[in-house]
Amino acid sequence: MGKIALIFSGQGAQYPGMGKALCEASPAAKRIYDMADSIREGTSAQCFEGAQEELNRTVNTQPCVFTADLAAAYAVAEKGIRPDCVAGFSLGEIAALAFSGILTDEDAFRLVCKRGELMDKAATENPGAMVAVMKITPQQVEEICAQFDKTYPVNYNSPAQTVVATTGENAAAFCDAVKNAGGRAKVLPVSGAFHSPFMADAAAGLAAYMKDVDFAEPSVPVYSDYTAKPYEGDYRELVRAQVENPVRWQTIVENMIADGVDTFIEVGVGKTLTGLIKRISEDVRAFKAETPADLEALPL
């Protein structure tokens, strides 16, 4: 058997009740929800009972999804499963930093709360839109983006799925250009144009905040969304740059596979990353770990 990777989900799949069953079944998961409540009162209640509209606000989404991600990861570890490496999609990377020991759980939670505040503010002050593009290559998407002002590929998800950030004014014309190129485009229900220059102010604010945050060496390699390689060098810069630069998820998965990973476990909310991995490679296994039933079904 090859190596095991834990992958931490990003925002977008949040829903009322997320994490409740696992919190009730796993002492390790409950510890993370208790930690979150001790720093940001009401986080557990927001996860378990919050309305969808409330959970969809970036300032709430990020701490809630982070908590669900990290709780699920510790529940997997509680079963005796030890990953050889980790990665997280967007905000999921902050949970990966906590699990690996680069940040303490508490510092990572405070960081993700600040990240959510800053990105929410940047989205309000620099409005934008995000469009998922399917059925054409990333290179074709880049060529279409070049035809529009302030339009950037921001999530390289799989060989046939790329997410683009653009202005609200450009979104409809961009979708038409994608269709004319043989692709399919869908405007996403998100509150900002993330991982793009629209987030420059948020990245700067996060850099200032992190000056007082301690970073340590990881217990397992953490693959960076910004470089698609294991963390090395200036860790603060990797966290800062990730906010205003593309998530290179396909390359991360390909690099993990090249480094010997053949089993991926998605921890947290939903199964988006599990689906992407299956589109990137048919030669690896991908499982989700969100509920007690999911954990029992892991063939490890």
- Mention every residue, 6+ apart, whose C-beta is less than 8 A from residue 144: 174, 177, 178, 181
Q: Report how far apart the first and last C-alpha atoms of the chain are (Å, whole number).
A: 10
Which residue in the list 26, 100, 158, 195 is annotated as catalytic? 195
Annotated catalytic residue 191: no
Catalytic residue among 9, 26, 44, 90: 90
For strands 222-223 and 85-88, give the pairing. parallel
66 class by beta-carbon count within 10 Å (0-12 exposed, 13-18 middle, 19+ buried): buried
195 as an active site residue: the answer is: yes
Q: Rounded to whole angstroms, how far apart are CA atoms 245 and 154?
A: 7
Distance CA 14, CA 273 (A): 14
H or E stretch including 32? helix 27-39
Catalytic residues: 90, 195
